[in-house]
Structure 1
Amino acid sequence: MDGQVELPVSLQKAQKSLGLCIKQRHEASKIRQVLSSHLGSQLNSSGHPLNRPLSLVDPAIDVEAASHGVRGLQREYLRSVRANIKARNEYAAISKEHHARRTGEDLESETQDFPQQSNSCLGMEAFIYLTMHQQKHERLRITQDYVDVLSQKPAATAEHLDPKVALRDVDSLPKVPPEVLHNASAGPAAGGTALKELVDLLEKSVLRAKMLLKKEQRLLAKVRADSSGSPESRGDRLQALGLTRNALINWIEAEMEKAGDGSVDVEDEELSNHDAGGKDYIEAQLASIQRQYGRYIEARQSLVTSATSISEPPVSTTKEEDSNVPALTDDSRPSQGMQIFYPYLEKLAFTANEQKAAIQQRSHLTISLAKQVKEASQGLDRLADESHLLPAHPMPTASSQRKGLEGPLSFNGELLNHEKPDSSARGRAWVYAAESAGTATKNAITEQLEEGGKAMEESRNSVSGLYHLLGYETQDDGLRKTGLKKDIWTALDGALGVIKGDGAEAR
């Protein structure tokens, strides 16, 4: 209350004068209830409920008869009621005259059918009646407009009433989705059968895919057969095999000529070195060369025969020629080819087994090493997260780049190292951090020792100075007091001792 601003004197006087008229909200509502009950008892003495609010007073009530013996506010209220009734009567008369002039005789004839009403309800009834007539006129006018439009159209014929003709210019409605129709027709049972239908559709789609796959495979086999059986491709293959065979024969002959030259050189050397050789030695060497060359000719013929038997297509012959050709030659060709390739096949099988075993061992070692590396990496990551040593002493990034003979890392190597961090690099980081921490600790201890040594030296100098002032002598085995008692003044420079000795002698 102290914080409120005080009102001016004039406003305080006005508030005091209006204090009797200003009431609280609950007090005002209570006063209204009392006044309404009192007025209701005065205006409706018979006790029947009023069908109108108090503001709409019925003009039929005799206000003059109830005005005797009334004083104060009730007298003023009755005077206002009489003025209101008089004004409403005048308004009703004027509105009636105006309405009569406007509507004329039709309105007067229709108003005679209505019962006689009071002057207070005459104006309201007339307004309602006029509004109803206006709405009816509007409806009739709209109906007449539609009738006029229909009258302008041609007469109704069978073609005119045909829906196709009538709806010719109308856009077609969109089709209802089949899902909606299916759901509407299926009803609640559709939810249970939806899964079964989906499974059936899936099986049909899988079967259709299998059939298409088989059809494509048959077409592919047919195309391959056509391409492999064409004479052009066979001719190309035969030409290529012929060229390969000629190149192989030329190479073998060149190698044999080299081998023959080498054998002649060796023979000349042996003849020059060994005097015991003669015609017998030469004949023996020539016989061995002939045997080797014969074996070479046989091997070459068998190789060429096997290559031609494999590469050449079967020639169409008649039944008589087939009967004349002996079956032994056909069987001998594959057998000779197998005899040539069999030793190599055994070696290839042995080599393949060895490679397979090596690959399996390598994969086992790789898997075991990868597991160990993964465990080690996880342990290093956990220790790196918990450690305070690595953040304090990080490893410089420049040291990770290899230099020297190997050269710097390539882009691919850097990318692989970024994607798969090396465990050795993590270990090097720990080693570097430990060495850095040890070096830092060693430097700190060295600095502390140096500072301690300096402090001890300073304290030793101070103690020695104090001993020197006090007259003590210091030796290697420690400080000890001298046997003779000396005065403190004997340590001073000058002739004080001499002066003191002279004084003692004079005594």
Structure 2
Amino acid sequence: MGMEQPSSTNPAFGEAKKVLAPYTRTRQEVAHIRRVLALHLKSQVDDKGDAKLLAPISLACESANKLPTTSGTHGLRKEYLRALKANVKARQEFARLTTESQITKEKEVEEISLGPYLALENQKQKLERLRILQKYVDSLAIKTPAFASFLEQPAASIEALPQLPEEAIASAARSGSESSTVNLDDLIQDLERDVLRAKLLLKSEKNLLAKIRAEQQKQLRRKSSLKAAEPDQTLKALEKTRNELISWVEEELGKAGNSDAQPESPSKPRDSEVPIEQTVTEVREKYTRYLRERKGLLEALARPAVPDIAPKTEDKDIPQEPQNTSEVGEMAGFITPYLSELLAISREQKSLSQQRSHLTTSLAKQNKETIQVFDRLAEESHLLPKYQLPQKRSRKGTGTFAEEVNMAVKESPGVSHRAEEWTYAAQASSIDTMEAVCVNVDEGKTALEEAKKALDRLDQMLGYSARKTGKGDNSGGDIWLQEAESGGAKDENTNIWSTIDGQLGVL
């Protein structure tokens, strides 16, 4: 009764019941169908119908190892068990392949996700390095050489020079008797050379300083109608001029120190009787005098060229202050018009020196690379050892000045000497090749003449001498061309029997 009430009230339930009616059975019908199927299966498995089933039929869920064997079965059951084992193996293989594919996909996903991350990290590190470099480049670009601190640094760095170590002198004095005299002579010569170079530099700088002071005094003596500059501007102009002069003098000192063309003092003959202690004492005195003169030069350069303007103080020298101020104003008035020219000249000299050093470095580098290339080619070449450049022996008293200079240059071989070796080797090789070709050509001509003679003898043996004499003297032509032109006539007019044709009676 409970089931009929909702069907009368709900039409959807009734429709669903009608649709499912062919598939619904009662319990009695289901039990009857099962018994019929069991009997049918039993009859299919066992023909007699007496045997019982040893195992249930639905074995698809079992593994291949737990399935019953097919040794004691026959007919459809044996085929079913075989198919069932194949199905289980196929399922296991499918599961294994599925698992492996999933693992491979996970690894690929991890690699794909890790690659861009590593590339991004590398780019970030590179960007950070570039930012740091850009930061320091910008800071260096801001600090131009126009600042006074940059110009004063070289002067501050060379104010104090290291003293000659006493321990080194004492050890040299102790070991002088044991060491060879050649090393001591070399040391003395080097020190004398350095002292002489320092004296020359000091003399040139003193002359330059005296010249500058004379020009300044000459400008101070002049009386001009130019307006005096203000005290602050005057001090700035004087400081700037002083810094420019100091930088120029230091640059000239650096050039003179680095130049290799300085005059060297001739080596003095050393008396073997002079003791080592006396020689060391002389060297020490020379080095002390060199330090004293260098220190005096630096002090002279650091000393201001004009008297400083004293501040206003309550002193007895107060009446002299207007005179000093007026002198400074007049001097600033004279120097101010020439400041721009001095700065331009200083920049021009600096640029020229930089350009000269750059060109010298570039040429030396190119020369070195060229020499290395020539040396490498000379080691790998088989031409230079075979054709070596003959050594030119200069005759004493007979050579000209140009020949002597060339011989002196060739003592230290450079690029031109190496190129001359290659040129000589190439010319000698070409001459040898031409000689070999000429010899081979002569041999070929001789062989050709012999071949012509052999062909003439063959013609005489075969009876072709009449044809050859009738044509005239053809020794100057081509024998092969003559054979080609006279080939047809040979076949038509002559043969092996033509010599006895009509002359049988003679035979």
TM-score norm. by structure 1 comes to: 0.30
- Structure index of larger Rg: 1
TM-score norm. by structure 2 comes to: 0.30
